[in-house]
């Protein structure tokens, strides 16, 4: 089954404690992306990757890092989380950028206290 | 840069009534346009997409949308609402390397 998986689905952490949210897709997609969803703001892109070792900033990259060492994985790293990063995070992938047909993961709800 | 405006953050309709969710985009060149749906506690899934092949686009679950260049609109409609349509709906425009999301419209269906 074609899918995008994220782990963990729920995470509560404290300010400053480094964390990683994993994202994996099994569709051999080149393009992967991270979004955060906040009430009244829709989804905003954090980072995206066009292919292995190619990443770029989206609209709200501050406080986040990503890496793309393998085609299937695109982890999101928060090196020093802060309460304003409390949000619902989605990973997505697609065959190529700009086509819009993105497959979304189930989401990770992060709370930073 | 693209921007997408969804009119109405909340829409309520009675079961069996027409669903109309409004979306306007800004661009000198019509982009690819999409509607995604998000059911409670789930990720987003594609309802339909416009890629310039036809102005009236049919999607899943009886939804359709009409691209109107003169109005820069891409409104989503369904003739008869069902309880299972209750969800949040996002109008989305594509850019070169990313997607631009509207702020979403939460649809409530009243029995």
Angle in degrees, CA A8, A11, A14, rounded to 5: 140
Task: Show the beta-strand stretches assigned E in A14-112.
Answer: 19-25, 31-38, 42-51, 54-57, 65-66, 76-78, 87-94, 103-104, 108-112
Nearest to B98 among A58, A104, A107 (CB): A58
- pLDDT in the model for residue A1: 84
- Beta carbons of B73 and B21 less than 8 angstroms apart: no
From A106, which residue of chain B is nearest by alpha-carbon distance?
B43
Mean pLDDT in residue range A21-49: 93
| Low-confidence winner among A104-108, B2-6, B33-37 (lowest mean pLDDT) | B2-6
Residues of B in contact with A34 (CB under 8 A): none
| pLDDT above 90 (res B22) | yes
Q: What is the DSSP letter of A85?
A: G
Confidence of residue B1 (pLDDT cuts 50, 70, 90): low
Residues of A with CB under 8 A from a CB of B: 4, 33, 35, 40-45, 48, 50, 56, 58-59, 90, 92, 97-102, 104-107
Confidence of residue A83 (pLDDT cuts 50, 70, 90): very high
Confidence of residue A93 (pLDDT cuts 50, 70, 90): very high
| pLDDT above 80 (res B111) | yes
Q: What are φ and ψ of residue B24, in 5° steps?
A: -125, 145
| CA of A82 vs chain B CAs: smallest distance (Å) | 24
Nearest to B43 among A41, A48, A105 (CB): A105
- pLDDT in the model for residue B100: 84
- pLDDT in the model for residue B66: 94
From A91, which residue of chain B is nearest by alpha-carbon distance?
B43
C-alpha B50/C-alpha B58 separation (Å) is 9
DSSP letters, B73-110, are: EEEEEESS--GGG-EEEEEEEE-SSSEEE---EEEEEE
Residue-wise pLDDT for B47-101, tens only, equals 999 887 788 999 999 999 999 988 999 999 999 999 999 999 999 988 777 788 8
Give me the residues of B, 76-105, that contact A with CB < 8 A: 90, 92, 94-99, 101-104
Q: What is the mean pLDDT of chain B?
A: 90
β-pairing, A19-25 with A76-78?
Answer: antiparallel
Residue-wise pLDDT for A95-112, tens only, equals 876 666 789 999 999 999
Residue whose pair of structure tokens reads 């996002």 in the numeric block? B90
Mean pLDDT in residue range A47-68: 95
From B94, which residue of chain A is nearest by alpha-carbon distance?
A98
- What end-to-end distance do the CA atoms of chain B give, in Å? 41
- pLDDT in the model for residue A9: 95
Mean pLDDT in residue range B31-43: 88
B43 shares contact with chain A (CB less than 8 Å): yes
């Amino acid at each position: 089954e074609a899918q995008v998986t994220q782990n963990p689905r729920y995470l509560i952490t404290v300010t400053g404690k480094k964390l990683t949210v994993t994202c994996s897709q099994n569709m051999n997609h080149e393009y992967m992306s991270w979004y955060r969803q906040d009430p009244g703001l829709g989804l905003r892109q954090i980072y995206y990757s066009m292919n292995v070792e190619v990443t770029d900033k989206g609209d709200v990259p501050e406080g986040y890092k990503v890496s793309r060492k393998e085609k299937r994985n695109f982890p999101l790293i928060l090196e020093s989380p802060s309460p304003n990063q409390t949000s619902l995070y989605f990973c997505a992938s697609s065959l190529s950028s700009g086509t819009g047909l993105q497959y979304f993961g189930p989401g990770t709800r992060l709370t930073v206290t | 840069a693209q921007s997408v405006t969804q009119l109405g953050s909340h829409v309520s309709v009675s079961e069996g009534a027409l669903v109309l969710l409004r979306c306007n985009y800004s661009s000198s060149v019509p982009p690819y346009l999409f509607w995604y749906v998000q059911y409670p506690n789930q990720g987003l899934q594609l309802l339909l997409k416009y890629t310039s092949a036809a102005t009236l686009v049919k999607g899943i679950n009886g939804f359709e949308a009409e691209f109107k260049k003169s109005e820069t609109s891409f409104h989503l409609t369904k003739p008869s609402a069902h309880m299972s349509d209750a969800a949040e709906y996002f109008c989305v425009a594509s850019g070169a390397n990313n997607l631009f999301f509207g702020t979403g419209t939460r649809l409530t269906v009243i029995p």
